[in-house]
């Protein structure tokens, strides 16, 4: 059986390592590719860069910012996407409070405080409170942030801030879609995923217990099972 081309989109200040458990577990059924999402400062340009390097047709999975980009990819090239997985993401625009929080993080970068963004701002929001003392997991997240770097982070934040409202896009998604989130995700709560699953015609909702926003690393085996069932129904 030929492997499914699978494009995996990372979240803000994250990279290929956030998908590593799934890449290793799915290698027999999926040919995985994780693009660099640090070079463009709009979702439209990010999508164009992905499409320039992606296979002609592919399954697509995105977490958090990667989910936001998935909506843009669907708007630009629905004919390229065979299946869609939306993990811990949000079809709605950010609230004014969230937008100001993003701008505050940009000011932190400008004042030379970039390393604090991962350790002090993002980490407590990314993972379940019970995992905040998991030093190995915390180090992986910190290393990914440092790898993306301040310039890449600013590009990503600006892309997030200027993104389109994707609520009206949801009913147009016509491919088999997995919607997945951690029950304790405080960045993109369960109700957003219930809305997506109800609005996308051929969607399945999976909720992971004892899991925050970074589901691929918090509950890697459960995410892999869900992706496997989605890829090979």
| pLDDT tens digits for range 59-81 | 999 999 999 999 999 999 999 99
Q: How confident is the model at residue 233 (pLDDT cuts 50, 70, 90)?
A: confident
Give the CATH number for residue 17. 3.40.50.1820
Q: How confident is the model at residue 105 (pLDDT cuts 50, 70, 90)?
A: very high
pLDDT at 1 over 80: no
What are residue 30's DSSP bridge partners?
Answer: 4
Round the CA-based radius of gyration of the chain to a whole number and report it: 16
- In this prediction, what percent of the chain has a pLDDT beyond 70? 100
Calculate the average pLDDT of the chain.
Answer: 96
Residue 63 pLDDT: 98
H/E element, 85: strand 81-87
The number of domains in the chain is 1
Residue 222 pLDDT: 98
Domain hosting residue 218, numbered range: 1-233
What's the average model confidence in pLDDT over 40-63? Answer: 98
CA 84 from centre of chain: 12
pLDDT at 41 over 80: yes
Q: What is the pTM of this model?
A: 0.97
What's the average model confidence in pLDDT over 166-194? Answer: 98
Q: What is the DSSP track for 2-22?
A: PPEEEEEE--TT--GGGGHHH
């Amino acid at each position: 059986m030929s492997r499914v081309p699978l494009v995996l989109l990372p979240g803000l200040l994250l990279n290929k390592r956030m998908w590593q458990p799934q890449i290793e577990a799915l290698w027999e059924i999926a040919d995985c590719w994780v693009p660099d999402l640090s070079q463009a400062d709009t979702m439209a340009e990010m999508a164009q860069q992905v499409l320039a390097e992606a296979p002609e047709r592919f399954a697509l999975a995105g977490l958090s910012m990667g989910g936001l980009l998935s909506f843009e990819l669907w708007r630009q090239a629905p004919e390229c996407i065979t299946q869609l997985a939306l993990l811990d993401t949000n079809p709605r625009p950010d609230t004014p409070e969230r937008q100001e929080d993003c701008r505050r993080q940009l000011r932190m970068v400008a004042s030379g405080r970039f390393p604090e963004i991962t350790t002090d701002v993002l980490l407590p929001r990314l993972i379940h409170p019970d995992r905040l003392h998991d030093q190995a997991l915390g180090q992986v997240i910190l290393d990914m942030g440092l790898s993306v770097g301040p310039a890449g982070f600013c590009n990503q934040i600006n892309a997030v801030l200027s993104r389109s409202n994707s609520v009206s896009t949801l009913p147009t998604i016509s491919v088999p879609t997995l919607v997945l989130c951690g029950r304790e995700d405080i960045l993109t709560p369960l109700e957003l995923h219930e809305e997506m699953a109800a609005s996308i015609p051929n969607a399945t909702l999976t909720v992971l217990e004892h899991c925050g926003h970074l589901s691929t690393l918090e509950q890697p085996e459960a995410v892999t099972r869900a992706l496997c069932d989605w890829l090979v129904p």
